Amino acid sequence: NSQSLKKSYEKYFDIGAALGVREASGTEKRAYPILDKHFDSLTPENLMKWGSIHPRLDEYNFGPMDNLVELAEKLDARVVGHTLVWHNQTPNWVYEDENGELLSKEALLLRMEDHISNVVGRYKGKVHGYDVVNEAFFDDGQYRTSKWYNAAGKDFIKRAFIKANQIDPDTELYYNDYNMWKPEKRDAAIELAKELREEGIRIDGIGMQGHYGLESPSIEIIEASIVKIAEAGFKVMFTEVDIDVLPNPVNRHGADIDATFEADESYNIYKEGLPEEVQVQLVQRYKELFELFMKHQDKITRVTFWGIHDGGSWLNNWPMPGRTAYPLLVDKDYKEKRDIIDTLIRVTEQ
Ligand code: G3I
């Protein structure tokens, strides 16, 4: 108990990790003991996204996700479905007819519903909850002008939640986004969730991704979002936690990054290893975050790390390829960072 994160947090919330193809299939042998010891929730990092699980119109690639579900059974871990509808990693054919013309609203929604039926149907009873829709808002709280939104307005969101619930009425349904500490964005997500609920559409929770830096966002501003989401009557989960110790364009995240932005080596300053004083800051930052999570453990149902070990983190590729990132609990050689893990365990004993 004194060694394991999942056991220490058992009474409070699930502890999750995002897995790649090799971890899910067992090809990466070093992953299993870590997963077994620390995690009771698994999220597919990429392998359930549309482009991966449904690469062509009549072709599904269920193998990698089947592996993840099987692994979860072995580990007695819950599965999070990530993600059914997103603007990213969705092939262009999805939006187009056989002549390359954009589909009408209704044709696109039918295609989306068909995808949801097939995916949710296959894993019926095996997925604890789905990130049904991912990242539908810009940071200012406006709806993201994605191909989904441009074609269907917010009906794509409603129809996605309705369909997922119809196919598997027992699975939980979430809305998931990054920078949810930003009041405008958080409030927009809460408004959406309330709208769904008022129309009788199931939505259980709101996922705050949690791609954070060492200093930003502040604990207070994250706390405000936890409280607001819970006050509105929705479960809170931290769905993609990692802490980037490197300089990063905080407000230019992912798809919101503007086209003129070019990262250079100044975003990769710890190539030779992480200085001791920065490691201390990383431990401290994780400690403060988990103290916050524990303070609100009645509102939070899960905290998932976006990867198992530093070597596999997406932050090695963002905002530029070839970075050496240190965001997770296990280093690139699969060695546990016991300073962080022990600190997080002590947080439960305070
Ligand atoms: O699988 C291909 C491989 O065949 C090819 O050789 C290689 C060359 O680039 O690309 C591989 O695909 C990459 C994929 O990850 C799997 O490794 C994609 O290029 C790459 O874009 C993709 O990145 C993922 C990203 O989502 C896609 O937007 C990251 O791993 C994943 O961590 C990241 O996760 C997202 C969440 O889903 C939503 N929230 C933000 C978060 C971080 O961006």
Identity (one letter) of the amino acid at 15? I
The CA-atom distances, in angstroms, between 284 and each of 8, 76, 77, 287, 342 are 19, 31, 28, 5, 12
Average pLDDT over residues 145-154: 97
Q: For the residues 53-71, what does the mean pLDDT come to?
A: 98
- pLDDT at 315 > cutoff 80: yes
Predicted ipTM of the assembly = 0.94
Average pLDDT of the residues of the chain: 96
From atom 12 of ligand 1, which residue's Cα is the shortest distance away?
Answer: 46
Range of the domain at 314: 5-256+264-347
What is the helix (H) or strand (E) element at residue 68, kind and residue range?
helix 63-75
Quickly state the pLDDT bin for 298 (edges 50, 70, 90). Answer: very high
Whether 177 is in the pocket of ligand 1, judged by its Cβ within 6 Å, is no
CB-ligand 1 contact for 45 (6 Å cutoff)? yes
CA of 207 to the centre of ligand 1 (A): 19
- The upper half-sphere exposure of residue 104, i.e. CA atoms within 13 Å in the direction of its Cβ, equals 2
The whole-number average pLDDT for the span 45-51 is 98
Question: Which residue shows structure tokens 């916050």?
Answer: 292
How close is the Cα of 46 to the center of ligand 1, in Å? Answer: 6
> Does the beta carbon of 150 lie inside 6 Å of ligand 1?
no
pLDDT tier at 263, thresholds 50, 70, 90? confident
**Which DSSP string do the residues of 205-244 spell out, in sequence order?**
EEEE--EEESS-S-HHHHHHHHHHHHHTT-EEEEEEEEEE
Euclidean distance between CA atoms 56 and 58, whole angstroms: 6
pLDDT higher than 80, residue 49: yes
Are residues 241 and 124 in contact, defined by beta-carbon separation less than 8 angstroms?
no
Give the closest residue (by CA) to ligand 1 atom 19. 89
Six token digits for residue 79: 């599965």
- The CATH number of residue 119's host domain is 3.20.20.80
Residue 290: CB within 6 Å of ligand 1?
A: no
Mean pLDDT along residues 201-206 = 98
Instruction: Look at residue 118 and give its three-state secondary structure.
Output: helix
- DSSP at 103: P
Pocket perturbation via mutation, ligand 1, pick of 46, 177, 180, 328 by most ligand atoms within 8 A of CB = 46
Give the model confidence (pLDDT) of 79-125 as tens digits: 999 999 999 999 999 999 999 999 999 999 999 999 999 999 999 99
Q: Is the pLDDT of residue 1 over 80?
A: no
Q: How many domains does the chain have?
A: 1
Place of tokens 């403060």: 288
Angle ∠(189,12,70) on CA atoms, nearest 5: 80
pLDDT value for 262: 84
Whether a cis peptide bond, with omega within 30° of 0, leads into 145 is: no
Q: Give the pLDDT of residue 256.
A: 60
> What pairs with residue 78 in β-bridges?
41
pLDDT of residue 57: 97
- The whole-number average pLDDT for the span 44-58 is 98
Q: Does the pLDDT at position 171 exceed 70?
A: yes
Task: Write down the catalytic residue from 240, 262, 265, 288.
Answer: 240
Tell me the Cα Rg of the chain: 19
Q: Is the pLDDT of residue 254 over 70?
A: no
Predicted confidence band of residue 308 (pLDDT cuts 50, 70, 90): very high
User: Average pLDDT, stretch 193-216?
Assistant: 97
Q: Which atom of ligand 1 is nearest to the CA of 18?
A: 32
Query: What does the pLDDT read at residue 280?
Result: 98
SS3 category, 86: coil
The residue contributing the CA closest to ligand 1 atom 14 is 46
Active-site residue, 135 included: yes
Whether 105 and 149 have beta carbons less than 8 Å apart is answered as: no
Q: Is 23 a catalytic residue?
A: no
Does residue 252 register a pLDDT over 70? no
Query: Range with the lowest mean pLDDT among 126-135, 160-169, 193-202, 259-268?
Result: 259-268
Dihedral sign (CA 293, 297, 299, 300): positive
Distance set, CA 304 to CA 13, 53, 58, 181, 202 (Å)? 10, 22, 32, 17, 23
